[in-house]
Amino acid sequence: MIFMIWKRHLESKDYIIREANPRDARQIIDCMQSVMDEKIYLVGEYYLLTERGEQERLKNPDELTLVCEINNKIVGVLTLQRGFYKKNRHTANLGIAIMSGYRGIGIGTRMIRQALEWAMDHGIEKVNLEVFSSNKNAISLYKHLGFEIEGIRKNQFIINGSYVDDILMTIYTSESMKN
């Protein structure tokens, strides 16, 4: 499938959302590490893959990685990882990270919508994500896009000395799965 590139004009800057390729590995790592360094949005503190490992991950046909690029700089990364086993191949886990200074301006919305289209085109019927209860803006966005809270793991994390719940959210991309 050829993936459509999304271009949009944003605050006198053009941005492109496109499927990542192995040449993007270094910038993906840098973007992810930038968000991890904030220590309030992602569980990890260090990106675990090397550049070569990231290049190999990007070749997996069961995963989608989208990037948002502004002035040839990757400022957002979205991953959609399909279930590995026969029993969960109809599901996928979504993760998204957008660098500080680029949030709240529609990039995440566009990236998630493209990922959901990809999921439907690839027979994925259920998309899951996890979000810290302290990330109110992200939770609001996910609800706006149709995700519903499926579960809560209470006090799962400690961020800046406070307990934070892990919110499990889901959206069904198949009408037959919706109750």
- Reported as a single tens digit per residue, the pLDDT across 96-105 is 999 999 999 9
Sorted by sequence, the CB contacts under 8 Å of residue 95 that are 6+ apart come out as 78, 79, 81, 129
Tell me: pLDDT of 9 over 80.
Answer: no
The number of beta carbons lying within 10 Å of the beta carbon of residue 153 is 12
Residue 24 included in any domain:
yes
* pTM assigned to the model: 0.90
- Reported as a single tens digit per residue, the pLDDT across 16-74 is 999 999 999 999 999 999 999 999 999 999 899 999 999 999 999 999 999 999 999 99
Tell me: pLDDT of 4 over 50.
Answer: no
Residue 77 included in any domain:
yes
What does the H/E/C string look like for the chain?
CCCCCEEEEECCEEEEEEECCHHHHHHHHHHHHHHHHCCCCCCCCCCCCCHHHHHHHCCCCCEEEEEEEECCEEEEEEEEEECCCHHHCCEEEEEEEECCCCCCCCHHHHHHHHHHHHHHHCCCCEEEEEEECCCHHHHHHHHHCCCEEEEEEEEEEEECCEEEEEEEEEEECCHHHCC
CATH code for position 23: 3.40.630.30
Domain that holds residue 28: 6-177
Residue 1 included in any domain:
no
Residue 20 included in any domain:
yes
- Count structural domains, the chain: 1
Amino acid of residue 1: M
Tell me the mean pLDDT in the region 124-150.
97
